């Protein structure tokens, strides 16, 4: 999609600190990290929100979640079969949640204790 920051990163037009990639997913460090590990995981195809993605291509949503878990394991936030020490997946959706980039992305946050509830 034109005029989409994350599509431009997938295309290589804007640099990204890529930490994980599959045929259909792409993961890179957030430019303004909110935790020691803060990675964004996206589908390479443009979908605005998780709700729109799951309707259009549910398998791709599953691939994004699998990629997020792989990133967490790679970053030492979990093991293949266990949740220790732990991490958080966040999908800000819409204006009330503060979504600023309208290409669906999972934030993978970890490396510190994460307060609940979030703001
Ligand atoms: P949202 O607020 O939509 O849930 O998350 C968008 C995220 O994209 C924010 O955490 C923001 O820091 C990150 N971001 C915005 N512009 C860039 C950029 O140019 N590069 C990278 N790596 N992250 C960005
Ligand atoms: Zn896009």
Cα of 83 vs centre of ligand 2, distance in Å, is 30
Average pLDDT over residues 51-77: 98
Q: Is the pLDDT of residue 119 over 90?
A: no
The phi and psi torsions of 61 (rounded to 5 degrees) equal: -60, -40
Average pLDDT over residues 47-60: 98
CATH code of the domain covering residue 86: 3.30.428.10
**Whether 71 contacts 108, CB under 8 Å:** yes
Per DSSP, the residues of 50-81 read HHHHHHH-HHHHHHHHHHHHHHHHHTTS-BTT
Domains: count for the chain: 1
Residue 119 in any domain: the answer is: no
Structure confidence by residue, pLDDT tens digits, 17-43: 999 999 999 999 999 999 999 999 999
Residue 116 in any domain: the answer is: no
52-89 in b/e burial notation, b at 16+ Cβ within 10 A?
A: ebeeebeebbebbeebbbbbbbebebbeeeeeeeebeb
Q: Which domain holds residue 31?
A: 5-110
Residue 15 has which token pair? 């640099």
Q: Which ligand is nearest to the CA of 101?
A: 1
Q: What is the pLDDT of residue 44?
A: 98
pTM over 0.95: yes
What's the mean pLDDT when you consider all of the chain? 97
């Amino acid at each position: 999609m034109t005029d989409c920051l994350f599509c431009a990163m997938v295309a290589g037009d804007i640099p990204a600190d890529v930490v994980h990639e599959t045929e259909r997913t792409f993961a890179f460090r957030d430019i303004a990290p909110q935790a020691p590990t803060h990675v964004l995981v996206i589908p390479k195809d443009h979908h605005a929100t998780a709700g729109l993605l799951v309707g259009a291509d549910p398998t791709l949503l599953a691939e994004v979640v699998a990629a997020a878990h792989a990133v967490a394991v790679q970053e030492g936030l979990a093991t293949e079969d266990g949740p220790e020490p732990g991490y958080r997946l966040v999908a800000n959706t819409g204006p009330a949640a503060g979504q600023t980039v309208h290409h669906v992305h999972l934030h993978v946050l970890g490396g510190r204790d994460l307060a609940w509830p979030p703001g």
